[in-house]
């Protein structure tokens, strides 16, 4: 338990419910991170097993000072835009290293802890969640940038309505007696207030007029283990820097054949290896399976393209 392990993941659901057997936490719009310490300095891992210590040195420092010598803690790294967590704002920090470059962004980050799979060398994965949360609350001293993710009991439907009214991403519902298991589970469920999810980039279009970089990303999702299903083109949400940086990345990934199933009739389309994952906000799915009013929110370097599927709302 003191090395990297695949984190436990929530499953999307359209059902909202209340139950004394479940607890409810705020759904944060950030980057999932496991913190692991085994006597030395803490290490931070993204959910797909990538070391991210150097991008978030203030979190490593806080874990060193405020935690014990041995633990595996699970949480979410976030940045705020006003009172809301913002993955788009966090983008400025995700790929940066070096104290001067990080400080120049002006983006402060916080690490919300919500689970404790191991502590003091003891495997806690079989301990019920409610008990793990109590242990987590006592295991660390919480000072910024380290924060405890509070939960509420029973009243899932009322809490969901309140979360949406506050402009939150939604709630995560967790079975109070659940064990900590790697991979996606129905013991953790997403109650989403907003429509956004990850998509795989399979191509892009040429820029038009004064636009630089590219016109739109062509995105899709996996239906089982087959080829990508096309979900539409994403042409908004980019600044000039993002357009230039993404175009350089896309040029290095270009290939002759489309990775999507079926013909895609987009003028000026270029195809790329389906490896890049991006987060996209949208208003709804159209009847023919396309995104309505999609907007780019950022790259998801912490998620594997093979795992991207269409989510329920």
List the catalytic residues.
Answer: 27
**CA 259 – CA 86 distance, rounded (Å):** 31
| Residue 202 contacts residue 218 (beta carbons within 8 Å) | yes
Give Dmax (Cα) for the chain: 61
Strand, helix or coil for residue 278: strand
Q: Please give, one letter per residue, the 3-state secondary structure of 25-72.
A: EECCCCEEEEEEEECCCCEEEECCCCECHHHCHHHHHHHHHHCCCEEE
| Residue 191 contacts residue 27 (beta carbons within 8 Å) | yes
**CA 172 – CA 309 distance, rounded (Å):** 19
- Residue 192, C-beta contacts closer than 8 angstroms, at least 6 positions apart: 12, 27, 169, 170, 311, 313
CB count in 10 Å sphere of residue 19: 14
Going by the DSSP 8-state scheme, the letter that residue 312 receives in this structure is: P
- Residue 185, C-beta contacts closer than 8 angstroms, at least 6 positions apart: 8, 9, 10, 11, 178
């Amino acid at each position: 338990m003191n090395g990297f392990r695949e984190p436990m993941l929530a499953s999307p659901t359209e059902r909202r419910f209340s139950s004394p057997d479940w607890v409810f936490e705020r759904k944060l719009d950030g980057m999932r991170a496991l913190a692991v310490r085994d006597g030395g300095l803490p290490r931070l891992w993204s959910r797909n097993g990538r070391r991210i210590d150097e991008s978030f040195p203030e979190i490593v420092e806080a874990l060193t000072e405020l935690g014990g010598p041995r633990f595996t803690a699970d949480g979410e790294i976030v940045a705020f835009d006003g009172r809301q967590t913002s993955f788009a704002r966090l983008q400025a920090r995700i790929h940066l290293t070096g104290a001067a470059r990080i400080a120049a962004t002006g983006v402060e980050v916080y690490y919300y802890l919500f689970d404790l799979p191991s502590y003091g060398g003891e495997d806690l994965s079989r301990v019920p969640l409610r008990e793990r949360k109590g242990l987590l609350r006592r295991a660390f001293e919480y000072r910024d940038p380290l924060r405890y993710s509070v939960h509420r009991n029973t009243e899932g439907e009322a809490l969901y309505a309140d979360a949406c009214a506050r402009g939150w991403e939604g709630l995560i519902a967790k079975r109070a007696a659940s064990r900590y298991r790697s991979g996606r589970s129905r013991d953790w469920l997403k109650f989403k207030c907003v429509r956004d999810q990850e998509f795989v980039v399979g191509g892009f279009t040429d820029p038009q007029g004064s636009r630089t970089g590219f016109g739109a990303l062509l995105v899709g999702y996996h239906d089982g283990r087959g080829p990508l299903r096309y979900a539409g083109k994403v042409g908004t949400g980019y600044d000039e820097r993002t357009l230039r940086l993404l175009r350089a990345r896309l040029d290095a990934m270009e290939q002759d054949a489309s990775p999507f199933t079926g013909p895609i009739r987009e003028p000026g389309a270029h195809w790329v290896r389906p490896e890049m994952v991006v987060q996209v906000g949208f208003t709804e799915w159209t009847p023919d399976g396309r995104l309505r009013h999609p907007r780019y929110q950022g790259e998801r370097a912490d998620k594997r393209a093979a795992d991207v599927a269409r989510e329920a709302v």
